[in-house]
Amino acid sequence: MLNEIDLSRTDLNLLVLFEAVLGEGHVGRAADRLNLTPSAVSHGLGRLRRLLNDPLFLRTPKGVVPTARATELAAPIADVLARVRSVMATAAPFDPATAMRRFAIGAPDGVSAVILRPLLAELSRIAPRIDVGVRQILPSPARVWRSAIVDLEAHAIDIAIIPSDDIPPRFEKRCIYEEDFVIAMRPGHPFARDPSLERYCSMQHLVVSDSGDPYGFVDEQLAKQGRARRVALTVPNFMFALAVIAETDLISALPRRFVAMHAARFGVLSLDAPLPLPGFRLNAVAPKVAMMDAGVAWLFDLLAEQTAQKHPSGLPARSRQS
């Protein structure tokens, strides 16, 4: 990427600047992230543009977008910086008991609501100066988690936790827990007295869908049996779903661990589904080059250790019926 002459007079911080502007998509936000002025960032971009002989970022009304060349350079630069950070980290070995760092975790809200309670408890005990930021990530159409991969490669997040096994080989992947679905409803709901498939199909349903699309995996399973249901409402997240279910006659298929951990505060009950619903695995994902960072590797292992424990109710996940 750089010849020997250029490298001898190149400031490595220009690559850090590139990484920040790419991740933020905005010069001002990149400046805030780097504790620099927007003018200093613009000046650094000018030097980098001359060095790489490309505009790199094009201005838009909402910020900047990378050129084709900048997109092509994103992965190699991320690899270079990860290796440099790994080398520098060896000078001060990562010790969670004393380390002062902030990590970013990306996950759907139904997943972050499950992992945060045990994670925060453990951090308080063994790593009191470690801070965590949680970023909600959403699937692309057809439930593909491409945005998580993009965020990882742009260093917007350190680790993603997603319900997908379709992970490129350049990423480390580990299953941290398995999940399935239960049917959630308010206390005294008529469905609880007759939890049959026919009765289920006659109910009014709530579906969690950020896009507002009312057709989901439950509808796919019903269609296989020649059945359908009425989706009366869609909401954008699982916590909102619990709040709505608690005060209406709507019912919803929600993740079992999530319901076991949070339904009691809303007074919501759950039953096993009257039809087979697919389970899925939640995988922690991080770039393999990022795993060279001892801090990221430590958090990756900690997430697996905390969430691989038994069901929060104290019973095995599939034996619980509330």
pLDDT tens per residue across span 220-251: 999 999 999 999 999 999 999 999 999 999 99
- Looking at the fold, whether 173 and 300 belong to one and the same domain comes out as yes
- Looking at the fold, whether 170 and 312 belong to one and the same domain comes out as yes
Q: What is the pLDDT of residue 163?
A: 92
Q: Which residue has the higher pLDDT, 310 or 140?
A: 140
Phi, psi of 315 (to 5 degrees): -115, 155
Q: What is the pLDDT of residue 4?
A: 47
- Other C-beta atoms within 10 Å of 122: how many? 16
CA 303/CA 159 separation, integer angstroms: 10
- Looking at the fold, whether 188 and 267 belong to one and the same domain comes out as yes
pLDDT digits (tens, 9 = 90+) for 147-198: 899 899 888 899 999 999 989 999 999 999 999 999 999 999 999 999 999 9
Q: Comparing 19-33, 80-94, 135-149, 245-259, which segment has the lowest mean pLDDT?
A: 80-94
- Looking at the fold, whether 79 and 149 belong to one and the same domain comes out as no
Nearest CA-CA partner of 203 in 214, 211, 192: 192
Supply the CATH number for residue 56's domain.
Answer: 1.10.10.10
Residue 94 lies in a domain: no
Q: Which residue has the higher pLDDT, 39 or 6?
A: 39
- Looking at the fold, whether 188 and 54 belong to one and the same domain comes out as no
Domain assignment of residue 148, given as a range: 101-178+280-317
- Looking at the fold, whether 302 and 225 belong to one and the same domain comes out as no
- Looking at the fold, whether 156 and 295 belong to one and the same domain comes out as yes
Portion of the chain with pLDDT greater than 70, in percent: 88
Residue 136 lies in a domain: yes
- Looking at the fold, whether 35 and 174 belong to one and the same domain comes out as no
Q: Is the CB of residue 238 less than 8 Å from the CB of residue 249? A: no
Q: Which residue has the higher pLDDT, 182 or 91?
A: 182
Q: Which two tokens stand for residue 17?
A: 């600047």
Q: What is the pLDDT of residue 8?
A: 57
Supply the CATH number for residue 292's domain.
Answer: 3.40.190.10
Residue 159 lies in a domain: yes
Mean pLDDT over each residue of the chain, to the nearest integer:
88
- Looking at the fold, whether 195 and 146 belong to one and the same domain comes out as no
- Looking at the fold, whether 172 and 289 belong to one and the same domain comes out as yes
- Looking at the fold, whether 164 and 123 belong to one and the same domain comes out as yes
Q: Total structural domains in the chain? A: 3
- Looking at the fold, whether 170 and 200 belong to one and the same domain comes out as no
